[in-house]
A and B are shown apart, each in its own frame.
Chain A
Amino acid sequence: MRPILMKGHERPLTFLKYNREGDLLFSCAKDHNPTVWFADNGERLGTYRGHNGAVWCCDVSRDSMLLITASADQSVKLWNVQTGAQLYTFSFNSPARSVDFSVGDKFAVITTDPFMGVTSAINVKNIADDPSQQSGESMLTITGPTGRINRAVWGPLNKTIISAGEDSVIRIWDSETGKLLKESDPEVGHKKPITSLTKSADGSHFLTGSLDKSAKLWDTRNLTLIKTYATERPVNAVTMSPLLDHVVLGGGQDASSVTTTDHRAGKFEAKFYDKVLQEEIGGVKGHFGPINALAFNPDGESFSSGGEDGYVRLHHFDPDYFNIKI
C-alpha cells in the first residue's frame, strides 16, 4: 500500500479520531490547531483555531456536527465541525487530558491533570442540544487516582466510566454517584503508566497500552484480563480493527533518545497482532519517531497513525491484507 502523508501539524501528533461514517479524520497535535481531513484522500478540510496550548484529545458527536477538544491551555472547547466556529469553552484550573462523548452525546467525560497543587480529576459535563444554552457546571467530579488520568471513556449504557492513567490501574466508576466499582488486579495489570485506552466497536471489551511494553485486552463488564500482547518497546497508542480480529500497537523508544540511536533501534512501526492468538501478524513502517496516535476507520479498510514526527499517515489496506493467515 502507498500511505497518504498529511503534514498539517508542526508539532507531534497526540490523538486521532474518525467520525462515525469514517469519512472525516480529526487530528490533534501539540501545535494548537486540531485539524479535520477527508479520510479517503487525505485532503485538509479545515482547522479549529482558538486553543492556546497543546491539544491532547478530541471526540466527535455521532451526527458529526459537534467536536470537543481537550487542551493543555486548561480548557475544553466545543466546535461546529462544519464551520470551525467555537461554540463553548469549559474552563478548568489544570490542563485537560482526555474527552469522550457519552452514547447519545448528552454528556462528556473530561479528565484534568494534576497541576499546581490541584489533583487530577474526572469531570462529567452536560452537553446541551443548543450550544447557546450550554453551561459549564460539572454534574460530577471524581478525584482519587494519583498522577495523570490519561484516558477516561464511557462504559456500556453510560452507566460507568472507565479510567486509566499514570498509576497503571484501570478503574471503573459509577457515572451517577462517582463511586469506585472495580479496580484492575495489580497482579495481572500493567506495571507502568497506561498511555492509551480504546474500546472495541461494540464496547464489550477494551484495549490498554502501557509503557511496560505490553497491551492488554479487558472485559468491560467485570474488568477481567482477556489477553496480553507483549512487544519490545513502550506502547503509546493502541487500536482494534472493527472488521478483523486484529489489534494494532504503536509506540517506540523515548522521543528524547531517538537522535542518539540508529533508526532501526527505534522500532517505530505500527505492529499488528492477532487479537485471539496474541501472535504478531506484521508491522507497518514509515514514521521517523514514536507513534503517538492510532485510529482505525470504522469500516476497517484503512487506518491512520500519527507520530512524534508531526506526520499523519493514512493507510488504505491492500486486498491481500484481508486474507492474511498466520
Chain B
Amino acid sequence: MYVDKSAKPSKMRWGELDEDDGEDLDFLLPPKQVIGPDDNGIKKVIEYKFNDDGNKIKITTTTRVRKLAKARLSKRAVERRNWPKFGDAVHEDVGSRLTMVSTEEILLERPRAPGTKAEESKIAGDNLAQLGKGGAVLMVCRTCGKKGDHWTSRCPYKDLAQPIETYIDKPAATEKAMAASGATEAAYVPPSKRAGAERTSGSDMRRRNEENSVRVTNLSEDTREPDLLELFRTFGPVSRVYVAIDQKTGVSRGFGFVNFVSKEDAERAINKLNGYGYDNLILRVEWATPRSN
C-alpha cells in the first residue's frame, strides 16, 4: 500500500490530530472531502484542522487503494456472509464458544521426516566402511569362514552351504532356555552345535552381537521392542533391539538389549538413559558385557 501524506504545515503529529483543545471551533472548518478512488485507485482525503497556534491547516491524504488478489470471493458468497443467523444460532451469545481455534498447533505429520532415512543409512554405511578399513578381521564370511575377503551375503559358496539359521539374533533367549531346561535329554541344541554342523561355532557372530551392546533392565512389562527402538534411536543408528519375553506367559521379563552401530552412540545412550524414568520405572542402562579394557 502506497501512502503519500503531504500535510501543511508538516509539524502535525498523530497524537495531536484528535486532541480537543477546550474551545471547540471545529464547526468553523469546511467539511471533510473524499475524492476518488479514481481509475488508478488514487483516493484523496482533504481535512481541515486547527493546529496548536490556532491556525487553520489543510491536510491532504493521498492513498492508493489496491485490491488484493486473494479477495476473489464470489458476489454470492459475500452476500451470504451477511445473512442473518437462524435456527439455534439466532440466540447465540458471543460467549457460547461453539467455535474455538485449537490452542494446539497440529502438523501434517509425515510418516518419516523427509531425508532422515537416507541420512541414517549413510552414517551406518560410513561406520561400516571405517570399521572395514580399521581391521579386515571384522569382515568374516559366516558361510565359508574366510576372513576379510567378502561379506556373507556375497559368498561364492553360499549355495553350497546349508541354510543360515536366523536364530542367532537372540542368544540371550537361547541361553535362558537352555539354563531353564537344565540337563534334560531333550534339551534344545542350536543348529550350529548339532552334529554335522561344519562351521566352527557362532563365536564370531556372538562377538558381533555383543559389540556395542547395551543392557537395559527394569523395563515395564508393557515395553516392547519398538518402544525401545523409539527410545534409543535418538542416539544413533541401532542395529538390533531385543526384549526378553517369557516363553510361557508371553510377558516381558523386564530386560532387553540394544546394539548400536557405533560405540560412541552407545556410550552416550548409557550416560543419558541410565536412571531415566520410563513408564514409572527407573531404567538401568549399562554395557551388556563387562568391557575388557
Contact = CB atoms under 8 A, between A and B. Distances in A.
Interface of A: 1-8, 21, 23-24, 33, 35, 37-38, 41-49, 63-64, 82-84, 269, 272, 280-286, 313, 315, 317-318, 321, 324-326
Given A21-B76, A283-B108, A33 B88 contact: yes
B110 A281 contact: yes
A80 B87 CA distance: 12
A7 B83 contact: no
B80 to A, nearest CB: 6
Given A24-B80, A315-B106, A5 B92 contact: no
A277 to B, nearest CB: 13
A23 B85 contact: no
A3 B100 CA distance: 9
B160 interface: no
Nearest to B111: A280
Nearest to B83: A82
B108 A45 contact: no
Contacts of A33: 87-88
Contact of B88 (A43, A47, A63): A47
Given A5-B100, A325-B114, A286 B106 contact: yes
A321 B100 contact: no
18 contacts: A3-B101, A7-B97, A7-B99, A21-B73, A23-B73, A33-B87, A44-B85, A44-B99, A45-B89, A47-B86, A48-B87, A64-B76, A82-B83, A283-B108, A284-B109, A285-B109, A286-B104, A313-B102
A82 to B, nearest CB: 6
Sorted nearest first, the 10 A-B pairs with minimum C-beta distance are: A47-B87, A46-B86, A23-B77, A84-B86, A282-B108, A42-B99, A46-B87, A47-B88, A84-B87, A44-B89
B105 interface: yes
A5 B109 contact: no
Contacts of A48: 87
Contacts of A272: 108
B81 interface: yes
A5 B102 CA distance: 6
Indicate the size class of the contact surface on chain B: 20 to 34
Given A44-B89, A47-B86, A48-B87, 12 more contacts: A1-B106, A2-B105, A4-B100, A6-B98, A7-B98, A24-B80, A37-B99, A44-B85, A44-B92, A281-B108, A284-B107, A317-B108
B74 interface: yes
Contacts of A4: 99-102
Given A45-B83, A47-B87, A82-B83, A282 B110 contact: yes
Nearest to A24: B80
Contacts of A41: 99
Interface of B: 73-74, 76-77, 80-81, 83, 85-90, 92, 97-111, 114
A21 B75 CA distance: 10
A277 B105 CA distance: 28
A111 to B, nearest CB: 26
A2 B102 CA distance: 6
Contacts of A269: 109
Contacts of B102: 2-5, 286, 313
Judged by DSSP, the binding face of A is loop
Contacts of B80: 23-24, 64, 82
Nearest to A47: B87
Contacts of B101: 2-5
A135 B80 CA distance: 29
A284 B108 contact: yes
Nearest to A272: B108
Nearest to A48: B87
B106 A47 contact: no
Contacts of A45: 83, 85-86, 89
A43 B99 contact: yes
Contacts of B77: 21, 23
A63 B87 CA distance: 21
A7 B100 contact: yes
Contacts of B86: 45-47, 82-84
Most buried by A among B73, B92, B98, B103: B98
Contacts of B108: 1, 272, 281-284, 317-318, 321, 324
Nearest to A1: B106
A84 B99 CA distance: 20
Contacts of A283: 108-109, 111
B121 to A, nearest CB: 17
A179 to B, nearest CB: 39
Given A8-B98, A42-B99, A46-B86, A285 B81 contact: no
Contacts of B97: 7
B74 A21 contact: yes
Nearest to A83: B86
Contacts of A285: 106, 109
A42 B107 CA distance: 19
A215 B33 CA distance: 63
Nearest to A312: B99
A1 B103 CA distance: 10
Contacts of B107: 1, 284
A49 B88 contact: yes
A16 to B, nearest CB: 15
A48 B87 CA distance: 6
